Amino acid sequence: MELNEAKQAFKERLKLLDAYDHAMGVMYYDIETAAPKNAAAGFGDTVATLSEVTYKLSVNEEVFEVLDFLTAHADELDEITRREVEEVQKGLRLLRNIPIDEWVEYQRAQAEASNVWHEAKVKSDYAMFEPHLKKLVDFTVRFAKYAAPEMDPYDYWLNEYEEGFTQDVLDKYFEKIKAGLVPLIHKIQEKEQPDVSFLHREYPVWKQREFSDKLMEIMGIDRDDCAIGETEHPFTTGFNKHDVRITTHYHEDALESNMYSVIHEGGHAIYEMGNSDEISESNLSGGASCGMHESQSRFYENLIGRSRAFTDLVYPVIKELFPEQFADVTPDAFYRAVNRAEPSLIRTEADELTYSLHVLIRYEIEKKLLHGELDTKDLPAEWNRLYKEYLGVDVPNDKAGCLQDSHWSSGSLGYFPSYSLGSAYGAQILAGMKKELDVDKLVSEGKISVITEWLREHILKYGQLKKPAELLRLSTGEDFDPDHYVEYLKDKFGKLYGIE
């Protein structure tokens, strides 16, 4: 094989697969935002058919041959192609090493588990889900051994979801979270809480839609490159840097819910739109990792969006759109309300301060499950014990407890930590940024685009060309250091609640 020939075959196959990904991605966006309810069956059929086509296009000896040839000649490749080859190899590592019939069996188990989980959650009936979860845990351990026999299985999966992060790093990370935040959270539980009732007055949906447009404008999001859709569980998807979609949901009695959905998803969108042209056209578009993507969404949502400078910037916009609802609300009351910190049961509704404790609990449980130290039968008891210990709350039932998230039902064990890492990355990046920019002043003046430009130059433009750890060093001059995150939270919430 010639190098150029192999490179061309590789690039052509990527382009072809990209077309399928794009089409299926649009179908997914459509089914979540626009399709009628009964479209689900036809959607499922088509995605299954096209997935089979792409599976055959990706997983075959001809492809492996080209890939292995390019891997062997990695030094002769340009940087982008080299990383593309690396990423594709990484994506195939598992598939190349497991017997195909186990893979098929796993997919069936996954689909079943996902179905049962939906019903089990509605009924708050963990017992019906338990045997399915057990099966998935077994698969997860077995697959890790096929792909990386030399690694601890949980380390394998953690590293899959967030490259470079295994238990040695995460144990220390979560230890700091626990030591730094649990006492603070317990102290806040004794303090008086700010009033949030005005956030739950009647905010007509058609006016909230206008508010979303305003927020995207404030964030400097170019609407020619980014659309907004409506869905039940907001998400962002990007097909290339000029075609990104955020989604949100509207509740007439919850102004904050849509507001911070738009800002959070807007942060994801800014990442996708911030890739350099070269990266956007390559197979390295998007974000460096789940955690790094989450760092950007939470950067805008919390570090910027819940700062005093930002709530003051948005306050007059809300006053204009909702003069009656905000008639008696001061800028200070607004700032305090969106920063109310209170231990709660549901991860996705958690506030900035308590969020990582929810993740910590899942991390501890996953670790035990994958090491056979916790039987799936005993999971609810362990879950409830940890929620009491770290967050001080009593879990009333499994629906509000260990059945709340979909991740385990789709076989994703090891994914949760990246949510928390995102916040920690963000705090570290903000500290790095503050060495060069007066962030609060820029926000006060509505110059969010200057902040975005800094992020673009240091992080966003690279897409997946560089890995999370490297991007942290590039943008902050330091290795990953969770102290920034813990300090940021202690400082912010200490002041808010008058502690120390």
- Per CB under 8 A, the list member of 43, 103, 146, 198 interacting with its own copies is 43
Residue among 265, 272, 294, 352 flagged as catalytic: 265
Closest to its own copies by CB, 49 vs 197, is 49
CA 311, CA 319: separation in Å to the nearest integer? 12
Range 9-45 burial, b when 16+ CB lie within 10 A, else e: bbeebbeebbeeeeebbebebebbbeeeeeeeeebee
Candidate ranges 128-136, 217-225, 256-264, 409-417; the one touching its own copies (CB under 8 A): 217-225
Q: What is the crossing angle of helices 205-218 and 308-321, to 10°?
A: 140
* Ranges within 49-78 binding its own copies (CB under 8 A): 49-50, 53
478 annotated active-site: no
Smallest separation, CB 440 to its own copies (Å): 31
To its own copies, the closest distance from the beta carbon of 26 in angstroms equals: 5
Query: C-beta of 28: minimal distance to its own copies in Å?
Result: 10
Which C-beta is closer to its own copies: that of 35 or that of 496? 35
Residue 357's nearest CA partner among 161, 167, 194, 175 is 175
Rg (C-alpha) for the chain, rounded Å, is: 23
Sign for the pseudo-dihedral over CA of 318, 319, 324, 325: positive
**Of the ranges 23-31, 131-139, 373-381, 475-483, which one interacts with its own copies (CB under 8 A)?**
23-31
Find the binding residues for its own copies in span 164-193 (CB under 8 A). none
Which of residues 14, 26, 431, 496 is near its own copies by CB under 8 A? 26
φ, ψ dihedrals at 195, nearest 5°: -75, 130
**In this structure, are residues 474 and 292 in contact, taking their beta carbons and an 8 Å threshold?**
no
Which residue, 48 or 150, has its beta carbon nearer to its own copies? 48
Report the residue from 7, 9, 10, 29 that binds its own copies according to the rule CB under 8 A. 29
* Contact (CB, 8 A) for 238 and 254: no
Give the shortest CB-229-to-its own copies separation in angstroms.
Answer: 6
Near its own copies by CB under 8 A, which window of 159-167, 221-229, 301-309, 333-341?
Answer: 221-229
Residue 222 Cβ, how far from its own copies at the closest point, in Å? Answer: 8
Would you say 469 and 287 are in contact if contact means Cβ atoms under 8 Å apart?
no
| Interactions with its own copies, residue window 226-285 (CB under 8 A) | 226-227, 229, 239-240, 242-245
Instruction: Check if the beta carbon of residue 416 is closer than 8 Å to that of residue 158.
Output: no
Residues 6+ apart with CB under 8 A from 321: 207, 210, 211, 214
The residues that are catalytic are 265
Binding residues for its own copies (CB under 8 A):
15-16, 18-20, 22-24, 26-27, 29-30, 33-39, 41-43, 45-46, 49-50, 53, 206, 223-227, 229, 239-240, 242-245
